[in-house]
Amino acid sequence: MSMNLQSLKYSNTDGSNPRLQVLDQLVLPNEKVYLDVPTVQDAYTVIRTMQIRGAPLIAIVAVLGLSVDLHTCPKTIQEYNQMDDNDQQVLSYIREKMEYLKSSRPTAVNLSNALEELDQALIKAMSKKDETTTVSTKDILKKAVLDYSEFLLERDVSDNRAIGEFGAQAILNATKKEKVNLVTICNTGSLATAGYGTALGVARSLQQRNQLESITALETRPYNQGSRLTAFEILEEQMPGGRLICDSAAAALMQTKQVDACIVGADRVCANGDTANKIGTYQLSIVAAYHKVPFFVAAPITSLDINLESGSSIPIEERSSEELISTSQAPSHMPCWNPAFDVTPACNISGIITEKGVVEPDQDGKLNVKAFVEKHTSISES
């Protein structure tokens, strides 16, 4: 199976010369254009304008962008070199750039989780510095940013492969079928990650087992991540029974029994299992519940936010009226409400598929995401 669709290109020729290019998703599928991301400002812009998007990819591009900026941007290098080699001053300089990146898009928690993890890596690197070393704090922290960014890039693909395997099995168990018909929303494939994908990765794993009968993509208005990106990936990967429907055809699809399971991604999953994902996901979950079609969420553990008890506290990004108008035939001055995400309540979710296994409803029907995360993070820390 080809993995031609590279959401980004990253190289690091001599170990301290990182270079980042991202595929401009706004001009897909008509053009394949890679954009250079030489600074933190550029990383912020490609995320904010949705030239790149998808929860895992947003985090990866932000962190790689920070590393590139520190190592190769002339203005940053000059400022950095002029600073005293004072631990707190150097840390604050990097943290300021991290805060700026964090403000690019609010809903997906992967970005703030990655920045938090990076912050801990920086503190750890500084604490290891001993009195006799000749290496400066500046060099230590720069290297720590680079190491963490490369680790994040690699971890994403291996986590997605594991999600694919757990997800394929969970769907086969739930549907009790040899071959399944799936429906999905938004884009959760190679283009939303460093490779392979989350929800679309599950479809990919079923395809590899020859257990995918068909996959239907919702168009995903207003940004059309389904028709522009998922449709493109489905064709590129020659997924069986690949087709597109408009968002409002989802109920009819289930009423006419053309689908066995829904598989969607996530931007943030709360402690109780409530899940923020692309606008329209909640609606799809209601239709699935009505038709008793299993509804699965696939997401890496970095999309789980156990600090938020329930979905009502998830910040939902609202985008401009202009974005909705320019992708429709509405009069140019029409006022709009354009939320980019909605929250699917845990009660509509059959399971949350992660790289460490599946969070399934307990005997009271509750999704205990908090206990799952605590169990798996304590194992990986010990």
Ligand X SMILES: CSC[C@@H](O)[C@@H](O)C(=O)COP(=O)(O)O
Q: Measured on CA atoms in the order 302, 304, 308, 314, is the torsion positive or negative?
A: positive
Q: Find the radius of gyration of the CA atoms of the chain.
A: 21
Residue nearest to ligand X (CB): 265
Nearer to ligand X, 72 or 283 (CB): 283
Q: How far apart are CA 335 and CA 244, in angstroms?
A: 29
Contacts (CB under 6 A) with ligand X, residues 207-226: 225
Position 138 contacts ligand X (CB under 6 A): no
Burial zone of 251 (CB within 10 Å; 0-12 exposed, 13-18 middle, 19+ buried): middle
Q: Given candidates 71, 142, 228, 278, which one binds ligand X under the rule CB under 6 A?
A: 278
Name the minimum Å distance from CB 79 to ligand X.
31
Name the minimum Å distance from CB 297 to ligand X.
9
Task: Write out the two tokens for 371.
Answer: 């206990």
Name the minimum Å distance from CB 265 to ligand X.
3
Burial zone of 235 (CB within 10 Å; 0-12 exposed, 13-18 middle, 19+ buried): exposed
Coil, helix or strand at residue 153: helix
- Catalytic one of 42, 156, 260, 267: 267
Is 226 within 8 Å of 220 (Cβ atoms)? yes
Name the minimum Å distance from CB 340 to ligand X.
5
Which positions from 179 to 198 touch ligand X by CB under 6 A, shown as an x/- string?
Answer: -------x-x---xx----x
Burial zone of 100 (CB within 10 Å; 0-12 exposed, 13-18 middle, 19+ buried): middle
Task: Give the type of residue at 153.
Answer: L
Position 167 contacts ligand X (CB under 6 A): no
Nearer to ligand X, 145 or 170 (CB): 170
Nearer to ligand X, 56 or 294 (CB): 56
Name the minimum Å distance from CB 22 to ligand X.
13
Is 40 within 8 Å of 20 (Cβ atoms)? no
Which positions from 90 to 129 touch ligand X by CB under 6 A, shown as an x/- string?
Answer: ------------------x---------------------
Part of the chain binding ligand X (CB under 6 A), chosen from 35-43, 91-99, 264-272, 361-369: 264-272
Compute CA distances 20 → 12, 90, 127, 217, 233, whole Å. Answer: 9, 23, 29, 30, 22
Q: Where are the beta strands (DSSP E) in 62-221?
A: 180-184, 212-218
Is 41 within 8 Å of 228 (Cβ atoms)? no
Query: Does the N-terminal peptide bond of residue 345 adopt cis geometry, omega within 30 degrees of 0?
Result: no
Helix, strand, coil shares of the chain, percent, nearest 5, are 50, 15, 35
Q: Helix 55-72 and helix 40-48: axis angle, to 10°?
A: 160
Position 51 contacts ligand X (CB under 6 A): no
Q: Given candidates 167, 222, 265, 294, which one binds ligand X under the rule CB under 6 A?
A: 265
Name the minimum Å distance from CB 245 to ligand X.
17
Q: Given candidates 20, 43, 55, 358, which one binds ligand X under the rule CB under 6 A?
A: 55
Position 277 contacts ligand X (CB under 6 A): yes
Cα 281 to its chain centre, rounded Å, is 15
Which positions from 323 to 362 touch ligand X by CB under 6 A, shown as an x/- string?
Answer: -----------------x----------------------
Task: Give the type of residue at 191.
Answer: L
Q: How many residues bind ligand X (CB under 6 A)?
A: 17
Name the minimum Å distance from CB 127 to ligand X.
34
Nearer to ligand X, 137 or 227 (CB): 227
Position 23 contacts ligand X (CB under 6 A): no
Contacts (CB under 6 A) with ligand X, residues 307-326: none
Q: Is 267 assigned a catalytic role?
A: yes
- For residue 183, the 8-state DSSP code is E
Is 254 within 8 Å of 289 (Cβ atoms)? no
Positions that interact with ligand X (CB under 6 A): 53-56, 108, 186, 188, 192-193, 198, 225, 265-267, 277-278, 340
* Active site residue ranges: 267
